[in-house]
A = this chain, B = another copy of it.
Amino acid sequence: MKLATLKDSTRDGRLIVVSRDLTRFADAGEVPTLQAALDDWSAIAPKLARIAERLEEGSHLSEPFDPRTVHSPLPRAYQWADGSAYVNHVELVRKARNAQMPTTFWTDPLMYQGGSDTFLASCDPILAADEAYGIDMEGEVAVIVDDVPMGAPPDQAREAIRLVMLVNDVSLRGLIPDELAKGFGFFQSKPSSAFSPVAVTTDELGEAWKDGKLHLPLLVSLNGSPFGRANAGVDMTFDFGQLVAHAAKTRSLTAGSIIGSGTVSNKRDGGPGRPIDEGGDGYSCIAEIRMIETIEHGGPRTPYLHFGDVVRIEMNDRHGASIFGAIEQTVQRCDGDRRQ
């Protein structure tokens, strides 16, 4: 089934069940929010599944679905931890600055603790005070888990995955070097992330969901031009079970915790990949093409995002139908006093 959160007068919105083709939705009835559903998933999921079934049959009252009317599936969450499972991407970052990547990066997942209190809706603008911050998108896949006990191994963690979404993990590249140099990781350089309009259960993904990975291309475009179509199931060194287990190693995770894959990145033929207009699969963030430009030409050529630029992130099934709906965001200058 596919779930979304309708914007209303509350901070957490109203849970709705969306049809497979993303054209219609039905109210989730007695379950007010997605967090409430996740808090008691084993009891509530079957009820939502029955609504979804009747919605597909056309036997449930429904309304037209418009992705512009929804929040992120969880408008705010208790946990957002983002891995860097595509180690190829990390290796390229290092190579661009002539640094060696530690070999442990292939066995011990890299993960950062994100902020989860003010997510952006899929069509919300990306707000920043200054283009000089080096505004970038990062196209990713993320999962929402049920409760995960401390120390759960990857197999158990994989079983706790309830929903899958797409993410734009907005990054301010210009702020990253100084912030990481302070030694405590990202903070100001990782502003609010945006999620796909719809979150889907793994059974909805069919054969594309296998071994804790989503085996489909992530379609990233910039101002209407294709920018990336890397396959999220390829070159993912750590599957979601391993990422969730990493997050739960020294503490339990509460139901509704979101764990991200990191920027989807394919290596392809042992090389660093090619832009789409050169026949390659392109990139899921601007930083990666700039790294390749740096390696090949001695410096970056593609600029980071400008105010007015439009980023689109989507994933289609094998029949070309959008699974999660599209993240489509315009970069805008922050007026400095906008309450969310």
Contacts and interface: CB of A to CB of B under 8 A. Distances in A.
Interface residues of A, number: 61
A324 to B, nearest CB: 23
B149 A112 contact: no
A249 interface: yes
Looking at A108, A128, A185, A189, the one whose CB has the most chain B CB atoms below 10 A away is A185
Interface in A60-117: 76-79, 81, 84, 102, 105, 108, 110-117
A246 interface: yes
A277 interface: no
A184 B90 CA distance: 12
B186 A339 contact: no
Contacts of A187: 81, 111-113, 246-247
Task: Identify the interface centre among A117, A150, A192: most chain B CB within 10 Å of its CB.
Answer: A117
B150 A127 contact: yes
Copies in the complex: 2
A118 interface: yes
Main secondary structure of the interface of A (DSSP, over half): loop
30 contacts: A11-B254, A11-B255, A78-B116, A79-B117, A81-B115, A81-B187, A102-B181, A102-B182, A105-B182, A108-B182, A110-B182, A112-B113, A112-B184, A112-B187, A113-B113, A113-B115, A113-B185, A118-B253, A128-B250, A147-B340, A149-B337, A150-B191, A150-B338, A151-B337, A183-B185, A187-B247, A191-B250, A191-B251, A252-B339, A252-B340
